[in-house]
């Protein structure tokens, strides 16, 4: 059995006390942590170390955290938790729109940050795990008498490869892959989680509250969901639709059910 790969994190924070606190929390969570004091140094560290998690302050010397997040997103799918003393909703939305997966205001409780990290890890698929899933042969189908079957549900599921397919869009939760009309599609982990939830739900409507809990890793609970959580879902969904080139007015993949949530769009055959 292949050994679990090393957990790597990058901390981008100009305050030495907070930087050391974050490093200690991540060390306790089993990460090898690299710390940086500036945005440019942080971008270089993410490129060099390919972390699964990056914490990012907004107020940095040189370029701010919003621009750092945008530049990191151009080449990395690292899970970005943005940390800031700014607690206005607009700052949260700007952070998410720049490419962050989560947003936590300072001063934060170490226990809350640790809980968010653990939730992220529950959803994370390592490259080793993805490769193992891809290499595992699928079981041979059991022989069955021919039947007159009803049309397959949406989305179509490839039982031999673990893919969900809909209108030329495919997603594989085991291999952490998405492709659109045969071309690979790069998504953040939050965007991937939203798309997987929508496609797994077939035509069932999924509420923003449910999706917010999914992003937090609380999908089995009925935890509190704030207006900010719902707006975060909207921002991530808007970014996802932009990557899918999926207009709200005539959706090919994700349909908005006004006042309720989202569901898979009609199948196009």
Q: What is the pLDDT of residue 54?
A: 96
Please report the pLDDT score of residue 260 as a whole number.
86
b/e per residue 158-196 (b: at least 16 CB within 10 A) = eeeebbbbbbebbbbbebbbbebeeeebebbbbbbbbbb
Q: What is the pLDDT of residue 148?
A: 39
Give the pLDDT score at 52.
Answer: 93
pLDDT at 249: 87
Can you give the pLDDT at residue 80?
93
Tens digits of residue pLDDT in 215-226: 876 654 556 777
What pLDDT, on a 0 to 100 scale, did the predictor assign at position 49? 96
Beta bridge partners of residue 157, listed in sequence order: 164
What are the angstrom distances between the C-alpha of 52 and each of 7, 25, 162, 189? Answer: 7, 15, 23, 10
Under-70 pLDDT residues of the chain:
1-5, 87, 123-161, 217-223, 269
Write out pLDDT tens, residues 57-72. 998 988 999 999 999 9
What pLDDT score does 128 carry?
41
Give the HSE-up count for residue 64: Cα atoms under 13 Å, Cβ half-sphere.
Answer: 9
């Amino acid at each position: 059995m292949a050994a679990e790969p090393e957990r790597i994190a990058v901390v981008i924070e100009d305050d030495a006390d907070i930087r050391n606190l974050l490093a200690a929390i991540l060390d306790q969570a089993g990460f090898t942590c690299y710390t940086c004091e500036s945005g440019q140094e942080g971008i270089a560290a993410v490129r060099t170390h390919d972390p699964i998690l990056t914490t990012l302050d907004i107020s940095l010397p040189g370029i701010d955290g919003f621009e750092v997040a945008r530049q990191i997103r151009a080449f990395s799918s690292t899970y970005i938790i943005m940390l800031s003393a700014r607690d206005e909703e607009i700052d949260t939305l700007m952070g998410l729109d720049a490419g962050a997966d989560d947003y936590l205001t300072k001063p934060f409780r170490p226990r809350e940050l640790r809980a968010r990290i653990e939730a992220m890890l529950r959803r994370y698929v390592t490259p080793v795990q993805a490769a193992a899933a891809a290499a595992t042969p699928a079981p041979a189908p059991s022989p069955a008498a021919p039947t007159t079957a009803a049309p397959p549900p949406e989305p179509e599921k490839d039982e031999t490869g673990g893919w969900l397919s809909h209108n030329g869009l495919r997603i594989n939760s085991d291999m952490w892959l998405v492709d659109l009309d045969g071309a690979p599609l790069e998504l953040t982990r939050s965007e991937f989680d939203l798309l997987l939830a929508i496609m797994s739900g077939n035509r069932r409507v999924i509420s923003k509250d449910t999706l917010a809990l999914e992003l937090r890793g609380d999908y089995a609970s009925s935890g509190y969901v704030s207006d900010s959580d719902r707006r975060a879902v909207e921002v991530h969904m808007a970014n996802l639709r932009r990557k899918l080139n999926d207009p709200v007015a005539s959706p090919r993949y994700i349909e908005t059910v006004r006042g309720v949530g989202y569901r898979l769009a009609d199948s196009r055959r």
